[in-house]
Amino acid sequence: MTVMERAPVKARNTCAEDTGHPRPTGQDRYSISEVVAHTGLTAHTLRWYERIGLMPHVDRTHTGQRRFTNRDLDWLDLVGKLRLTGMPVADMVRYAELVRQGEHTFAEREELLTAHRENVRERIAELRSTLEVLDHKIDVYADARRASERV
Give Cα separations from 87 to 24, 40, 47, 82, 114 (angstroms): 27, 19, 20, 6, 12
Beta strands in 75-136 (DSSP E): none
Mean pLDDT, range 51-78, rounded to an integer: 94
Distance of CA 112 to the CA centre of its chain: 16
Among 84, 81, 56, which Cα is nearest to 70's?
A: 56
Cβ neighbors of 119 (< 8 A, separation 6 or more) are 85, 86
Q: What is the pLDDT of residue 151?
A: 79
Q: Residue 129 above 60 pLDDT? A: yes
What's the pLDDT at 2? 36
Q: Fill in the DSSP letter of residue 59.
A: E
Per-residue pLDDT band at 25 (split at 50, 70, 90): low
Please choose, from the candidates 141, 19, 114, 93, the residue with its C-alpha nearest in 3D space to the C-alpha of residue 149.
Answer: 141
